[in-house]
Amino acid sequence: MQEKDLLKKLHSFKDVKPDAAWKKSSRDILLAQISSSTTGGADEAVLNRAGLFAILKNLYGDSVFARVTQPVGIAILIVCSIFGAGVASIKAARDTKPGDSLYIAKIISEKARVAVTFDEQKKIKLGLEIATNRAEEIKEVMKEEDDSSERQEKISQLAVDLNQEISVVKKRLDGQKKESETGKKKAEENKPDNELKKSEDDGAKKDVEADNTEVFRANLGKESKGMEISDKKKNVDDKKEDADKTGKEDVKDDNNKKSGSLPAPVPTSTEPVRQEEKKNSRIDLDKIVEEARKNYEKEDYDATLEILGEVNRAIDDDKKEKEESGGGQEPKNSKEEKATSTKD
Amino acid sequence: MGKLKETILYSRLKSKDREAFIEMYDLYADKIYRFIFFKIGNEEEAKDLTSSVFLKAWNYININRLKDYDSLKSLVYKIARNAVIDYYRAASVQNNLPLDDELARRIPSESEESALESRAEIFSDFELVRKKMAELKDEYREIIILRFIEDLSIGEIAKVVDKSKGNVRVLTYRALKALKDLIEQDNKFKQ
């Protein structure tokens, strides 16, 4: 017998079938059995729920779902890594200064943040932050050893930027001021309290103000970093005393302040205002900003920085940490200038 | 039956569609009955087991949440195969098949090709084959039924018997050869 014949014969076994009567009765019995386990209503509901999705899933199986979902997952990963890298580079760019390769990233991120901020208050804060960045950058650049024209260029460019930022903030503050007259009044009511507290604090730390009306002190939040500056530059002399509790700390050398080739920052006349504004910082923001501008014009970037920090603090206490890091740069300068005070 | 149709049927079964159950039954009742009948050789037992297979399939599809579904056909055959194994286990009737008698009785009466049957020579060949089928070992017989009677693909058989495709191919070859050898031996003996 050939294989072909054999297969043919095997195939003919298909004719073996159960009798039709049994088939029908069996079907009915089975149907009755499965019906007892389900109700008609539930049938419909489940059927609707199963829907096309279930059919498709069964039709194409998990492999197709995997094939569809995997690229989606990968795409999400790619997007995440791109944005993640962006965020990481912005973070990395945070402490850059002009000339650094990532400096442009910092500027772009600043601009982007301004573009996506719509709340006026936040915009002001952001503006201050940017201005602070510029001031810090100026300081950084000033610290550089070389004395090239390039460096001068950088500084002057930064100065222009800083001026711009301050103007923007000022403008915004003016606009806001008009809008919130009532809010300001409330703030005004709180003013005496603030002042009282402040002076108490100061009194506890150092009995400066009480003793000497001519001495103005800028407390940067840390006692040791207190800065006391005279309002008359002429009075500064070389005599140095230990800082005592009267707060009459002398200037070691005013010229030490000049760490760069720029003209020495002129801390003088701005200081009284600074002191004042420290007290009122929570209230009269635009005044402070105006002060910052004055400082800027006098190229006293330290003071500008400090004031910007004050404003920032006033606007948002949560930002304290950042301001301290901003203020943390002050000691370097204050170490140099130690303290300027009037000679009595 | 196309894969698409089968898949839609499976989905309908999954959502407890009774109409789908009837469709499944009509589609596979004959095949499953035949498969079981050739394996156990008893008509009544085959009928009972066939009924139980469809009930099991219904419950399995509705309760089972595993995603191992691939083909409704394979699934039903697999359930049938397991039912037969269970049957053997319970009755301890392995290798005690009264296949010959049953087949001799069934095939002539049910065959549509009565003309074929009427020809004595061919009919004797036909009988010979089914006799030798009964002599084959269980594993081979199963493969012969699925591959050459039920026309399942190698892939489908692999799923039913839980073996790799390559394994099934080898088994198919050996099973067919074994059957052929048995028939040849018989022919030689006759001569």
How does residue A171 score in pLDDT terms, banded at 50, 70 and 90?
A: confident
Q: Specify which residues A7 forms β-bridges with.
A: none
One-letter amino acid of B155: G
- Tell me which chain B residue has its CA closest to the CA of residue A25: B51
pLDDT for B170: 94
Please count the other Cβ atoms lying within 10 Å of the Cβ belonging to residue B171.
21
Closest to A11 in 3D by CA, of A21, A20, A23, A3: A3
> CB-CB: which of B12, B106, B144 is closest to A10?
B144
Share of chain A above pLDDT 70, in %: 44
A2 within 8 A of B137, measured Cβ to Cβ: no
* Cα distances (Å, whole numbers) of residue A1 to A9, B30, B171: 10, 28, 21
Instruction: Convert the pLDDT of each residue in A189-216 to its tens digit.
Output: 555 555 555 445 544 444 444 444 444 4
CA torsion angle A214 A219 A222 A227 (round to 10): -50
pLDDT bracket for residue A250 (50, 70, 90): very low
pLDDT at B23 over 80: yes
pLDDT band at B167 (very low <50, low <70, confident <90, very high): very high
The interface residues of chain B toward chain A in range 137-176, judged by CB-CB distance below 8 A, are: 144-145, 148-151, 176
Q: How many whole angstroms separate alpha carbon A208 and alpha carbon A74? A: 64
Q: B175 near B136, Cβ under 8 Å? A: yes
Cα distances (angstroms) measured from residue A94 to each of A89, A109, B65: 9, 9, 53
Shortest alpha-carbon distance between residue B156 and chain A (Å): 16
Could you report the predicted ipTM of this complex, rounded to two decimals?
A: 0.71
pLDDT tens digits, one per residue of B138-152 = 889 889 889 988 888
Considering only the beta carbons, identify the residue of B47, B107, B179 that sits closest to A26. B47
Find the angle CA(A216)-CA(A218)-CA(A219) to the nearest 5 degrees.
130
Reading the block at residue B182, the tokens are 């048995």
- What the block records as the tokens of A158 is 């930064």
Contact B22 A31 (CB under 8 A): yes
Determine the distance in angstroms separating the CA of A74 from the nearest CA of chain B, rounded to an integer: 24
- Percent of chain B scoring above 90 in pLDDT: 10
The whole-angstrom separation of Cα A141 and Cα A148 is 11
Alpha carbons A163 and A170: distance in angstroms, whole number: 10
Task: For residue A216, list its beta bridge partners.
Answer: A229
The tens digit of pLDDT for each residue in A132-142 reads 888 888 878 87
Which segment, A198-212, A329-343, B162-176, is predicted with the most confidence on average?
B162-176
The predicted pLDDT at position A289 comes to: 64
